[in-house]
């Protein structure tokens, strides 16, 4: 990477733009839009890299402020090499927090630098990393806790008609008996041969999770995602010892250190890093390497336009998550054709240089 990034010279400017986009299918009564921060990085070579930071609910103003002040002040004048810039920048920002706003903001710069390297080399980012496959499976995902039972069944029927081999729905936030009815209805709709995962979004205590999984496991669950607070790695490890359903977590872990702890504590069967929340492609690759060494599959969280490109490079082939009507293309966020085309249950890269994500 250093040799390919070397042609860019130093960073000469960093520009940002806040973007709010309404969701076609709200993720809840209080989640009706997503927030992005476009990050444009100018380099000495004349190449401009396009990146972004993202938060579906809160924190966008804080992310924007960090980019416009601390990150810009540190980055301008330094080499435009994401692999060598990431750690010193993180060490500089660490006083403001090791993760969260810090890493979400850092992702905007990291993605823009990877994009600039790819544009300069006229290669997609997956080629820079080392592409291992030409296409990916896609799984259907719903942010559907607020759906009525009829709406949930309608969505499950759309998944079945599309031919997905894996689908995921939300649980928790309801009385357990209601969750049982909802999962049962989805299982009946998709049939016995489709893998079914459930996501509790950190809503249960350890005892509640054990009881709920015990009731829901009859529906042949592929995994239970974030059953407990994401920071409670010891709790997840304890839960794994009590249940037979695989445990998935990682979308709300922010550093390679927390992923290492999760793996070494035996807290997860599957890790799900969100490339924005961990700080970009540079730390994502380090997390994937840790997981590969431990024999744990990586399922990147959300953002198929970006996650799909990284999944092409993973050692273990895993499908990418496609939340219904939430891709950048469906939300009208792309000014140019995107880097990933999803056709039914298959995703293929378009071969655009860099990240291939130019926001409208």
pTM reported for the whole predicted model: 0.96
Tokens, residue 275:
């490339």
Element housing 340 (H / E): strand 340-343
Whether 170 sits among the annotated catalytic residues: the reply is: yes
| Residue 142 falls inside a structural domain | yes
Residues 134 and 111 in one domain: no
In this structure, the answer to whether residues 106 and 137 fall within a common structural domain is no
- Would you state the pLDDT for residue 4? 79
Total number of domains in the chain: 2
Question: Are 132 and 18 in a shared domain?
Answer: no
From 80, 100, 122, give the residue that closes a domain: 122
Q: Is 158 found in the same domain as 138? A: yes
Q: How many Å apart are CA 135 and CA 341, to the nearest integer?
A: 10
3-state SS class at 282? helix
* Same domain membership, residue 317 and residue 232: yes
Instruction: State how far the Cα of 309 lies from the Cα of 313, in Å rounded to an integer.
Output: 7
Q: Write out the residue range of the structural domain in which residue 82 sits.
A: 2-122
138 and 113 share a domain?
Answer: no
Last residue of a domain, one of 95, 122, 149: 122
d(CA 65, CA 343): 38
Indicate which CATH number applies to the domain containing 195: 3.20.20.120
Instruction: Pull the structure tokens for residue 281.
Output: 């492609």
355 occurs within a structural domain? no
Instruction: Give the DSSP letter string of 166-221.
Output: EEEEE--SS-HHHHHHHHHHHHHHH-TTSEEEEE-TT---HHHHHHHHHHHGGG-E
Cβ–Cβ under 8 Å, residues 302 and 79: no
Vertex 282: Cα angle to 281 and 283 (nearest 5): 95
Residue 240: alpha-carbon gap to chain centroid = 23
Q: Assess whether 134 and 220 both reside in one domain.
A: yes
pLDDT score recorded for residue 1: 64
Tell me which of 122, 144, 161 is where a domain ends: 122
Quick one: 92 and 133 in the same domain?
no
Residue 169, beta-bridge partner list: 198
Per-residue pLDDT tens digits of the chain, which is 360 residues long: 666 778 999 999 999 999 999 999 999 888 999 999 999 999 999 999 999 999 988 999 999 999 999 999 999 999 999 999 999 999 999 999 999 999 999 999 999 999 999 999 999 999 999 999 999 999 999 999 999 999 999 999 999 999 999 999 999 999 999 999 999 999 999 999 999 999 999 999 999 999 999 999 999 999 999 999 999 999 999 999 999 999 999 999 999 999 999 999 999 999 999 999 999 999 999 999 999 999 999 999 999 999 999 999 999 999 999 999 999 999 999 999 999 999 999 999 999 999 999 999
Q: In what order do the strands lie in the sheet with 33-43?
A: 11-22, 33-43, 48-55
Do the domain assignments include residue 6?
Answer: yes
Please indicate, yes or no, whether residues 164 and 113 belong to a single structural domain of this protein. Answer: no
235: exposed, middle or buried (Cβ count in 10 Å: 0-12, 13-18, 19+): middle
Q: How far apart are CA 125 and CA 64, in angstroms?
A: 25
HSE-CB for 22 with a 13 A CA cutoff: 1
Q: In 51-63, which positions are buried (b, 16+ CB within 10 angstroms) versus exposed (e)?
A: bbbbbbeebbebb
CA distances to 278, 331, 332 from 335, in Å: 26, 11, 8
Supply the CATH number for residue 35's domain.
3.30.390.10
- Domain membership of residue 259 (yes or no) is yes
- pLDDT tens string 109-164: 999 999 999 999 999 999 999 999 999 999 999 999 999 999 999 999 999 999 99
Whether 195 and 318 map to the same domain: the answer is: yes
Catalytic annotation, pick one of 34, 35, 170, 236: 170
Known catalytic residue: 168? no
Where are the strands (E) in 23-162, listed by range? 33-43, 48-55, 136-141
Contact assessment for residue 149 and residue 185, using Cβ atoms and an 8 Å cutoff: yes
Q: Is residue 49 part of a domain?
A: yes
Residue 40 shares a structural domain with residue 159: no
Residues 18 and 76 both lie in one domain: yes
> Quick one: tokens of 261?
């702890």
The verdict on residue 332 lying in a domain is yes
CB 49 within 8 A of CB 43: yes
């Amino acid at each position: 990477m250093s040799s390919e990034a070397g042609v860019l010279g130093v960073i000469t400017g960093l520009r940002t733009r806040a973007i709010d986009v309404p969701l076609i299918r709200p993720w809840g009564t209080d989640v009706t839009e997503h927030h992005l921060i476009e990050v444009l990085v100018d380099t000495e070579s004349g190449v401009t890299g396009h990146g972004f930071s993202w938060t579906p609910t809160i924190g966008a103003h804080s992310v924007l402020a960090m980019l416009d002040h601390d990150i810009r002040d540190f980055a301008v004048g330094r080499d435009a090499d994401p692999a060598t810039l990431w750690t010193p920048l993180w060490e500089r920002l660490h006083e403001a927090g090791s993760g969260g706003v810090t890493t979400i903001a850092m992702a905007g710069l990291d993605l823009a630098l990877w994009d600039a390297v790819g544009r300069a080399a006229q290669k997609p980012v997956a080629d820079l990393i080392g592409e291992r496959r030409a296409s990916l499976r896609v799984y259907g995902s719903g942010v559907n806790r607020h759906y009525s039972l009829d709406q949930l069944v309608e969505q499950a029927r759309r998944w079945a008609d599309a031919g997905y081999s894996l689908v995921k729905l939300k649980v928790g936030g309801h009385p357990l008996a209601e969750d049982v009815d909802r999962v049962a209805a989805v299982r009946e709709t998709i049939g016995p041969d489709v893998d079914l995962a459930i996501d509790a979004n950190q809503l249960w205590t350890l005892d509640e999770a054990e009881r709920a999984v015990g009731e829901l496991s009859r529906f042949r669950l592929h995994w239970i995602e974030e059953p407990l607070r994401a920071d409670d790695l010891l709790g997840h490890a304890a839960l794994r010892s009590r249940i037979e359903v695989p445990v998935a977590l990682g979308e709300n872990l922010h550093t390679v250190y927390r992923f290492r702890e999760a793996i070494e504590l035996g807290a997860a069967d599957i890790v799900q890093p969100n490339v924005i929340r961990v700080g970009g492609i540079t730390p994502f690759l380090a997390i994937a390497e840790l997981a590969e060494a431990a024999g744990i599959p990586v399922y990147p969280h959300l953002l198929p336009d970006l996650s799909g490109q990284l999944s092409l490079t993973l050692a273990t082939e895993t499908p990418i998550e496609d939340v219904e009507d939430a891709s950048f293309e469906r939300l009208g966020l792309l000014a140019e054709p995107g880097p990933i085309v999803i056709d039914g249950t298959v995703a293929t890269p378009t071969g655009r240089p860099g990240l291939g994500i130019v926001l409208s």
